[in-house]
Structure 1
Amino acid sequence: MRSFLTLLPLAVVLVSCTADKGPDLDPAVLGIPVPQTKIVRINAMPYIPDTYQMLDWRRKAIDYDRYVFDWNRNDEVGALIWEDKNSRPDNPGFGLYTTVKDSRQGPSSPTSHEAINTMAAVLSGGLVGIDKTSQDGRNYPKMLQNYFASANNWKIMTNGAFGYAKDWWYNVLPNLLYFGVCDVFPGVDGADDIQKTISEQFKAADEAMGSSYDYSYFDFGNMTGVAGGLPKQQDAAGGHGYLLLEAYRKFGDETYLEHAKNAIGVLNSQSESRFYEILLPFGIYAAAYLNAACGTDYALTKMMDWTFNGCSSSSGRKGWGVIVGKWGDYDVFGLQGSITDGGGYAFTMNSFEMAWPLVPMVKYQPQYANMIGIWMLNNASATRLFYPGCIDDDHQFAPSLKNLTNNNIAYEGLRYSDRYGVFDVCPIAEGDGPTWTSKNGIETMFSLYSTSPVGVFGSIITKTDVEGIIRLDCNVTDFYADRPYPVNMYYNPFKTPQTVTYDTEHLTYGNLKYASGKYDLFDIVTRNYLVQGASGPVQISLSARSAHILVEIPAGTSLMQDENARIYADGHIIAW
């Protein structure tokens, strides 16, 4: 094991990050807007897609929760959930089918289920206001502790089924999901101890890897990186850094912060995109926060380009990035997946989950507000195409089954061309389920693991009273951050200023609570007030083709700034 203190001396600065109110604050200088930075691939997306449609994503998430967590469903699909008393008899868990009618799973195979599915479903429900700790007499966050791997000495949350231990992102994502669940549902018995153990394991892993994450996966039992089998997944450094940052913000242990910096420093030092599945965007968030709060200088635009342009190396997951273009008559700009597989293969899960880290990122780096606004408007519009009820019959593999789940469960993905060679259309909504085993039928194209993160969109996205303008909640997936005031981004895609209604209804959960009363709206992009002394919904003016990140602070709060031009409201940094 190598000494952490000898590694990456330039990238890692072992100093505390603080958001405390300092002693030498001056009145804030207002009215100096933040110059916007362009991301090449996002800049190729339309301000608003020609085929724009926006679903009520909160309703989709609530309906999905009601459908999937129905233990007594007796229709053609049947119950999609079962109890698992075998994995950990001391703490019974539950399983969800990975896809509809997946022959590998069910009550007769009670331990065959995946954390990336069940944890995402619990998190989604919590994000849109469903109390999963007391739903139909069950405490689902407690049941998720079933995935904690102590028997093999890994001592992290593992994915569970199908032997994915040798695939790095499958090992990291369940821990990110679990930390999110624990922020939404604090105080669940045993959770803090598990989180602390996970944090220590990730710290030890970073200590062991030091300046190189050049592995296919990390063996947490033997504390060693392993190369072979799958391509190396160096972007896992981003997932490790993100989790360690959350651990620091939860527990206050500065050694977690030091190791978060090391992991993100390793990510930053890579020479090319190694985007593999979903972890690189989490690394971008961690880098953005550390730059703002700790004075690091990670190359954010480079990392954004790595994500959106994708991996171009034949030694990595070549072509994995963000799709730009129109497939047939459909705009598919912003969807995440393979840019090259059969002309392109967008995945439902990934298109949902990329919003989790990248939307709150703009609070800390508002120079990317316009780009994230454009991408989210395109992505959220196109993501509807995964649902069988939202794409025409000619462009889905199983139109005769489109009502099977009442439009609650999406196809696993959207392809440029049919991988099965049955249909000569572009695009086509379908899934890989029938290829996993000969016993799987066409129904397995409808994917629970893909749809379970729908609550990410459901909590972040709200339609406004102007078609084409959406509100993005920048707090709701910013887990363990200081969030005393509502922060929402509005992006106006039109070439003229628009007036929309600012709504004071905000999602809350756990420790995420806001005071009510008269308020001021401060825009951290223009560094100025949009509204002062308002009460209830109010009309606001949005500049043409621009994003506004609005902080709702108590009316009359004095704004101060420090020597780094960070703006404070009542001791809390509201503009970095």
Structure 2
Amino acid sequence: MPIYLTETLRYVVVRGSRETPLPHPSKEIKVFRRTKIAATIVAMATATALVGPAAVAAPQPPRPVGYVDQFMSGTPSPLAAFNWKQRAIDYDSFAYNWNQPGAHRTIYADTTHNNMTTDSYKMPSYYGDLRIDGTTATDGNQEALGQLASVVGASLVGVNKANQGGYNYVDMSRTFFHPSLGIALNGSRPDVNGGADSWWYTTLANSLYMMLGDQYPTSNNMTTIQTSIADKYYAAVVALGGANANFDGQGFNFNTMTRYAGVRNEGGDGATGTAAILLWAYSRFGDPKYLQGAKWSLDYLERSNGRLYYEILPVLAPYLAARMNAQFGTNYDVGRLFNGILDVNPVRPTWGSMRGQWGGYDVGGLQGQIIDNYGPGSGGYGFAMNTFAASFLAPTVKYDTRFANSVGKYMLHMSNASRFYYPDQLPAANQGDGSRWINAPEKVLAYEGLREEFNGTRPMATSDVTRFGYGGGDSDLGLYGSAWVGFLGATVADTNVANVRRVDLNALDFYGDKGLPRYLYYNPNNVAASIQVTVPTASSVYDAVSDTLLSSSVTGTTTIVVPPGSSRVIVLGAANGSLTRSGGKTFINGATVSYRSGAPDLAYGQPVTASSTTNGNVAANLTDGTTARRWESQTADPQWVTVELPNTSTVNRVVMRWEVASAKAFNVQVSPDNATWTNVYTTTNGPGGTQTVTFNPVTAKFLRVLMTQRNTGWAYSMFDLEVYNDNLAASAPTSASSTTNGNLSSYLTDANLSTRWESQTTDPQSVTIDLGSQQTVGRVVTRWEVASAKSYQIRVSPDNVNWTTVYTTTAGAGGIQNNAFTPVSGRYVKVDMTQRNTVYAYSIYDLEVYGQ
């Protein structure tokens, strides 16, 4: 039975160019068009009741991620099906077998009672690791990064680690929590430096403990442990500067509560992990200080432009930022955080995501050293642990569907390339241990890493045991990396279409709302893909990408059609449920099925012109949504760039993401016709970097940045130019005392000055806007038609019942009224009109609400 989607957005990405340290493929131009896509949903087990067209909100345009677009083809090669969930279950069965049938033991009793009064257990980091498996092995050498991850990962795929074969591995994990310090550490031995030796080792252990608490909230001492961890990390953020927290450095001493500068900058791992710990703690315990600490931590990444990927934890940053944006109204640049992970970065210039082919194997998405300068061999070196952890990119799409295509493509490539870590997925000649494990029980263990080249062989599965002698064992298999396979196994599954993966968007959203199943399906093909989806109980079917209800009730096996080069985010809601929208969210029977995060970038995908360009760095790169490309001028003053906005729009904020070659003196200007210009912002001391400028709301069709003095001897260069209207009322629900002539109250918040609300011809009249949640309100802009109000009041309410008057006038002049007042908190904003300026009704084009 066909269901027709209304105005589903398709797009073709064609890239611009910019200079980078690595070669890029040829580029094209981005083109957007709207097309009606027929989506067929066939209920094969139970007949489907279909509904008519629902009111559809404007879909959010896709937001490309530069690395994904540039270095990942449509379908990876060689492609093969792989059951990641089963591999995770098989790993757990092998590693947690106390009667190990393999060559080496994988689990031992630990009777030292470190940090606890009962026995625990220990596992080696490498298969055959002599630090635990040898005759001189000692207790305390187990690592949380592998052992805790193995408990969390197995739990993600359905293994009950609190009662497995008579063992409670959750409780025994307390050996990593140090009560005297108040946090967990990577090891169980007595603390000597307060965890200061490494941000990433220490904070990863505590992040894993918070994940474990989501899975086993009633486990022994879990609440006490989690509260202690959260309190210590909040105190650390305060000690680092609170709102201006500086995480730079190698680590943090939780004994002295001081930052340790060290010899490297792991601050990105520290800040991201801290944000995760505190956001999850807020979700569990509700203490607002945790939410504030999470924000301060992400603010550090935003100030640092997000390019602080030292080891592992920054792969959570896009997800955390998207969740904060959707749930708490922040405005973090999720796209920049993606690029900070997937591309090269300044704190560890050789660290990021692999690209291209190694010896005929597509390796895009593997995480590690893009260029490896240590030990024998050459080229890149991907690590299993870091790659499996990148599954945390998936839940980003739950909160920001603009990244559905990029994340879908990444997860397809990463999950396929991750197979090559395993002995049963590569020829013996491409393995450091040869054919030893191909048909052995150990085939469920991953090699620690995959090297681009080793002694002329490309690629080569290997480890740091071979390179540096770590662990002193006789195997390249890494238990610590293998331990993370459950994160991928819980997230990715094959479908009936060979190159389409089902990506579970709830699996890694710890402490999130997981009440409704949510799955991402990305289709890399140039023809539509028909995906069979199992719906176990009667459910409605909703696509969050197009914000469309596809069916009111489905049961059994259903076919979802995914258009070519596009994505669906399928949410299964209540059968025959009511679809409503409020405050940037869409609901089915009150359960959230999609978010619209933050104000849209009005410049995204829009035409741009410039006074000059050079080196192929064209002006179109300014509005392509990625910092992987840039505009560059000639080396002369003045220079300018102009963006044409989609309509005559209200704007009040501009974000300029400068390359090093920034402007010291510049003006931001607006124009209705690209001829007459008005200055809205001027500076002679521009600092470069990411620069945000705000000004009173103005209407414009064109926006220009006029640059008159440079900060360097080079030309001007900018990665992105973004334009916003931070109107809290945008697309918000409205109501009115009356309407007439088809001029509805909903037109007040549609950002379209060609539509208007019109009342009946009586006094008084009123209009009310529901902001969706409590907001700080400090200014209301009323864009009157000729039929304006002479006397009116602006009121704010928390509940649509109790009102506070914040502005009153008896001399309203019509036109555009910009009414500012002392900021107050409220959810509802109402304009009460009591006297007209004309004999006609009241009529308003747009009603805008701002925080200040």
Number of equivalenced pairs = 526
> 2:382 is matched with which residue: 321, 326, 346?
346
> 2:585 is matched with which residue: 545, 560, 566?
566
One-letter amino acid matched to 2:234: K
Aligned counterparts of 1:236 and 1:75: Cα–Cα separation in 2:
38
Aligned counterparts of 2:308 and 2:109: Cα–Cα separation in 1:
38
State the 1:230 CA deviation.
3.5
546 and 482 in structure 1: CA distance in 2 versus 1, 3 angstrom threshold: same
> 1:248 is matched with which residue: 282, 292, 300?
282
| Cα distance per residue 1:428-483 (max 9 Å; x no partner) | 1100024554871431x100001001111111111111211111111111110112
> 1:226 is matched with which residue: 252, 260, 263?
260
Pairing 1:80–2:119 present: no
Look at both structures and tell me which one has the larger radius of gyration over its CA atoms. Answer: 2
State the 1:532 CA deviation.
2.8
Residue matched to 1:56: 83
| Cα distance per residue 1:355-384 (max 9 Å; x no partner) | 1x2111101111000000000000000000
3-state SS, counterpart of residue 400 of structure 1: coil
Q: Map of 1:329-408 to 2, 5 A cutoff?
A: 329-341=360-372, 342-355=378-391, 357-403=392-438, 404-408=440-444
3-state SS, counterpart of residue 540 of structure 1: strand
3-state SS, counterpart of residue 340 of structure 2: helix
272 and 364 in structure 1: CA distance in 2 versus 1, 3 angstrom threshold: closer
Aligned counterparts of 2:213 and 2:265: Cα–Cα separation in 1:
32
Structure number with the higher helix fraction is 1
- Matched-pair contact (CA < 8 Å) for 1:28–1:561: no
> 1:427 is matched with which residue: 459, 463, 467?
459
TM-score (norm 2): 0.60
479 and 89 in structure 1: CA distance in 2 versus 1, 3 angstrom threshold: closer
Aligned counterparts of 2:472 and 2:188: Cα–Cα separation in 1:
17
Residue matched to 2:547: 527
Structure number with the higher strand fraction is 2
- Matched-pair contact (CA < 8 Å) for 2:535–2:554: no
271 and 74 in structure 1: CA distance in 2 versus 1, 3 angstrom threshold: closer
Pairing 1:41–2:73 present: no
One-letter amino acid matched to 2:442: N
Residue matched to 1:129: 158
Aligned counterparts of 1:369 and 1:439: Cα–Cα separation in 2:
41
Structure 2: 5+ residue stretches without partners = 1-52, 373-377, 596-852
> 1:450 is matched with which residue: 481, 490, 513?
481
Q: CA RMSD in A?
A: 1.9
3-state SS, counterpart of residue 363 of structure 1: helix
Residue matched to 1:20: none
Pairing 1:144–2:173 present: yes
- Matched-pair contact (CA < 8 Å) for 2:115–2:179: no
Aligned counterparts of 1:328 and 1:118: Cα–Cα separation in 2:
33
Pairing 1:201–2:236 present: no
232 and 475 in structure 1: CA distance in 2 versus 1, 3 angstrom threshold: closer
| Cα distance per residue 1:209-254 (max 9 Å; x no partner) | 1221112101111111101133443342111111110010010111
3-state SS, counterpart of residue 237 of structure 1: helix
State the 1:149 CA deviation.
1.3
Aligned counterparts of 1:232 and 1:551: Cα–Cα separation in 2:
37
Aligned counterparts of 1:430 and 1:535: Cα–Cα separation in 2:
47
Structure 1: 5+ residue stretches without partners = 1-26, 506-516
- Matched-pair contact (CA < 8 Å) for 1:126–1:185: no
541 and 148 in structure 1: CA distance in 2 versus 1, 3 angstrom threshold: same
303 and 140 in structure 1: CA distance in 2 versus 1, 3 angstrom threshold: same
> 1:412 is matched with which residue: 448, 457, 461?
448
Residue matched to 1:440: 472
State the 1:531 CA deviation.
3.0
Aligned counterparts of 2:481 and 2:178: Cα–Cα separation in 1:
24
More deviation, 184-193/157-166: 157-166
| Cα distance per residue 1:85-121 (max 9 Å; x no partner) | 2123513221111001111114841221001111111
- Matched-pair contact (CA < 8 Å) for 2:464–2:470: no
One-letter amino acid matched to 1:118: Q
Higher relative contact order at CA 8 Å, sep ≥6: structure 1 or structure 2? 1
Aligned counterparts of 1:247 and 1:115: Cα–Cα separation in 2:
20
Aligned counterparts of 2:467 and 2:322: Cα–Cα separation in 1:
39
State the 1:39 CA deviation.
0.8
State the 1:415 CA deviation.
0.8
- Matched-pair contact (CA < 8 Å) for 1:284–1:300: yes
One-letter amino acid matched to 1:90: T
Residue matched to 2:341: 307
198 and 260 in structure 1: CA distance in 2 versus 1, 3 angstrom threshold: same
3-state SS, counterpart of residue 82 of structure 2: coil
- Matched-pair contact (CA < 8 Å) for 2:115–2:177: no
One-letter amino acid matched to 2:159: I
State the 1:552 CA deviation.
0.2
Aligned counterparts of 1:51 and 1:400: Cα–Cα separation in 2:
20
Residue matched to 1:67: 94
State the 1:124 CA deviation.
1.4
Pairing 1:113–2:142 present: yes
Aligned counterparts of 1:439 and 1:304: Cα–Cα separation in 2:
34
Pairing 1:288–2:322 present: yes
Aligned counterparts of 1:120 and 1:106: Cα–Cα separation in 2:
20
Residue matched to 1:96: 123
Aligned counterparts of 2:360 and 2:506: Cα–Cα separation in 1:
35
166 and 552 in structure 1: CA distance in 2 versus 1, 3 angstrom threshold: same
One-letter amino acid matched to 1:51: P
| Cα distance per residue 1:466-507 (max 9 Å; x no partner) | 2111111111111101121111111111111111111236xx
Identity %: 31
- Matched-pair contact (CA < 8 Å) for 1:120–1:453: yes
Aligned counterparts of 1:242 and 1:263: Cα–Cα separation in 2:
9
Q: Map of 1:542-553 to 2, 5 A cutoff?
A: 542-553=562-573
Aligned counterparts of 1:161 and 1:321: Cα–Cα separation in 2:
30
More deviation, 329-338/401-410: 401-410
State the 1:31 CA deviation.
5.8
> 2:308 is matched with which residue: 269, 274, 280?
274
3-state SS, counterpart of residue 268 of structure 2: coil
Aligned counterparts of 2:592 and 2:337: Cα–Cα separation in 1:
25
- Matched-pair contact (CA < 8 Å) for 1:431–1:446: yes
